[in-house]
Structure 1
Amino acid sequence: MDLGLHYYTFTAPEWETTLTDRLTETARIADEGGVSLFSFMDHWFQMLDAGGPFEPMLEGYTSLGYLAGITNRMRLSLLVTGVTYRHPALLAKTVTTLDVLSKGRAMLGIGAAWYDREHAGLGVPFPSTKERFERLEETLQICQQMWSPNNGAFDGAHYSLAETINLPQPVRGSVPVLIGGGGERKTLRLVAQYAQACNLFGAPGDEALATVAHKLEVLRGHCDALGTDYDAIEKTMLYQGDPTEDADTFLADMQRYAELGMTLVGVMPPRYTDPVPWTEKLTSAVVGRLSQI
């Protein structure tokens, strides 16, 4: 099993003067220590349960572009891009640029968006849930078209493009798409139809394990109905727990998730913790052993 590091908070001791240096050193340690995927959230305001809007928050794709220049191995993604934040064609161009400059390490993590306060605060339209999912599907279709030889028009219910020219193309021809969330009727259907990876929420305990197992069965059902390959979809999760507190227990938990088909687990430095020594401990105590699962 691979390890991802989800850098969801920039709040650490003396962040006002250490934010950039801490991020840089954390990314270096993770990249050299075998972390497979480095991700940020896609928010303008910090989430309420992580301190709220008056905590620091960097824009996601600018931050990933910075990491592309200082790392060499890790895949880079937002977990996940809010579909309401950027026009789909510009998003495809942005992610393509990240992929080219990182030499093929970009992923497009994407979802329907949910944080209404930051939309209202910065004056960005926040449509209904139904419309956001419609826009998500059209965005996936536009990205597919821009990462293909078809550079013609796209005419959807919400977006109309006269030309879908996108040069240069991504290093691998397209960018792998990860759709975040476990919504059984819409989100997992979109995974089955359009994505190369899903992202679910995991946690210690039997209840969380059973929930993930159920979500994967729902995904399998959508794949069967659509005629797509369930086994070809990368199964990832974001884990609600600190693996450095008890690596043995964490690894035993990951063995059970691996048996469900999970191949990557993302973990998060605790809030108000210096992420540099935490990441050093993570890579030394967890990465090698996790790769054996």
Structure 2
Amino acid sequence: MRIAIWPGAAKPYGEILEVAQHAAATGWDGVYIADHFMPNEGPGTDVRHPVLECGSLVAALGAVVPRVQIGTLVYGNTYRHPAVLANMAATVDQISGGRFTLGVGAGWQKNEHEQYGIELPAVKQLLDRFVEALQVLTGLLRTPATTVNGEYYQLTDAICEPKPVQDPLPLMIGGKGEKRMLRIVAEYADLWNSWGLPDIIEHRMNVLDDHCAAVGRDPKSIARTAQALVVVDGPVPADLTPPVIGGTIDQLKADIEGYRAIGLDELIVPDGLLGEGADRLRAMDTVLSLVRA
């Protein structure tokens, strides 16, 4: 099972770089960056807290951090035209020497759309637009020229040059909707991502397998990735919405083995509960040792 770190983009660039460089130096497999412009609204959340932009971060990390795969977790489709995003992705893959994973999702965070005047349509239209965007992305990144005559995007003999170093550039789709989103994953993705504890991820993996069978896709051709907040050794906060693993070393080891047992391909670790400075790096070393044991 691969292991990747997810440094929060609400940290200063120097701290994000430190985490990514430590991951590269100690044997982690990947580094992911989320695509948001501000924190999500919620009780006690400071929505004015600074957040760095995802595309700029992955380009910067791809240039100076060696060896590890660099990825987005995940680009919100509503924020950029997919033709622009295709060129961004190809450029980062060139910068990194063929180490970029293009993670994309339909988009969801309400306050970002409201503040920036970006339309956040109803779910059906949101997913319809996302499917067209995937046609644009795969066409531009994998074929010489692309024509799309959709409701949301229209391209005529469009090109994207240079192409990525990787052929094909890995395409990750983040989502959990069992009826339609996992069907889209089955049709387009090289990797799938979702938050969840092992039992939830296993259930969604089985649903994805069923969608693969329905569209004639080998389910083994789609890598499965997941994340949960991680507490290495300490109290687990009781008021968190995202899933949390660990709390003690023994529990964290058991949780990691739970992901391994269901056949997860990559466990992604957000660094939000790993501490600060040297404590965070020591926590990363502990997590890595449990995964490699």
SS in 2 for 1:153: strand
Query: In the alignment, which residue of structure 2 is the partner of 1:32?
Result: 25
Deviations 1:81-117 (A, max 9, x none): 1110000100111011111110111111111111121
Q: How far did 1:224 drift?
A: 0.5
Query: In the alignment, which residue of structure 2 is the partner of 1:74?
Result: 68
Q: Does 1:291 align with 2:263?
A: no
CA spacing shift, 1:263–1:278, aligned 2, 3 Å: farther
**Residues in 2 aligned to 1:267 and 1:82: alpha-carbon distance in whole angstroms:** 20
**Residues in 1 aligned to 2:195 and 2:16: alpha-carbon distance in whole angstroms:** 24
Deviations 1:62-86 (A, max 9, x none): 0111111110111112211111000
Report percent identity of matched pairs: 29
**Larger mean Cα displacement after TM superposition, 114-123 or 150-159:** 150-159
Deviations 1:126-163 (A, max 9, x none): 22211111111111111111122340422112100123
Note if contact 1:44-1:57 (Cα within 8 Å) is conserved in structure 2. yes
**Residues in 1 aligned to 2:108 and 2:62: alpha-carbon distance in whole angstroms:** 27
Query: In the alignment, which residue of structure 2 is the partner of 1:266?
Result: 268
| Gap runs ≥5 in structure 1 | 12-18, 204-208
Q: Which protein has greater RCO, CA pairs closer than 8 Å, 6+ apart? A: 1
Deviations 1:239-288 (A, max 9, x none): 133235533321221212212110211112236942x3244213422214
Q: Does 1:257 align with 2:245?
A: no
Query: In the alignment, which residue of structure 2 is the partner of 1:206?
Result: none
Equivalent position amino acid for 1:68 in 2 = G
Q: Does 1:61 align with 2:55?
A: yes
Equivalent position amino acid for 2:58 in 1 = L
Note if contact 1:2-1:291 (Cα within 8 Å) is conserved in structure 2. no
**Residues in 1 aligned to 2:146 and 2:285: alpha-carbon distance in whole angstroms:** 50
Deviations 1:214-236 (A, max 9, x none): 11110000000011011121111
CA spacing shift, 1:51–1:75, aligned 2, 3 Å: farther
Instruction: State how 1:81-160 maps to structure 2 within 5 Å.
Output: 81-160=75-154
Note if contact 2:8-2:16 (Cα within 8 Å) is conserved in structure 1. no
Query: In the alignment, which residue of structure 1 is the partner of 2:241?
Result: none
Equivalent position amino acid for 2:3 in 1 = L
Q: Does 1:174 align with 2:175?
A: no
SS in 2 for 1:266: strand
Equivalent position amino acid for 1:240 in 2 = L
Query: In the alignment, which residue of structure 2 is the partner of 1:21?
Result: 14
Query: In the alignment, which residue of structure 1 is the partner of 2:200?
Result: 211
Deviations 1:13-69 (A, max 9, x none): xxxxxx232222121111111221211211111122483421110110101111111
Query: In the alignment, which residue of structure 2 is the partner of 1:236?
Result: 225
**Residues in 1 aligned to 2:128 and 2:46: alpha-carbon distance in whole angstroms:** 28
Instruction: State how 1:180-195 maps to structure 2 within 5 Å.
Output: 180-195=174-189
Equivalent position amino acid for 1:290 in 2 = V
Q: TM-score, normalised by structure 1?
A: 0.89
**Residues in 1 aligned to 2:292 and 2:274: alpha-carbon distance in whole angstroms:** 28
**Residues in 2 aligned to 1:22 and 1:241: alpha-carbon distance in whole angstroms:** 18
CA spacing shift, 1:73–1:272, aligned 2, 3 Å: closer
Give me the CA root mean square deviation.
Answer: 1.9
| Gap runs ≥5 in structure 2 | 235-247
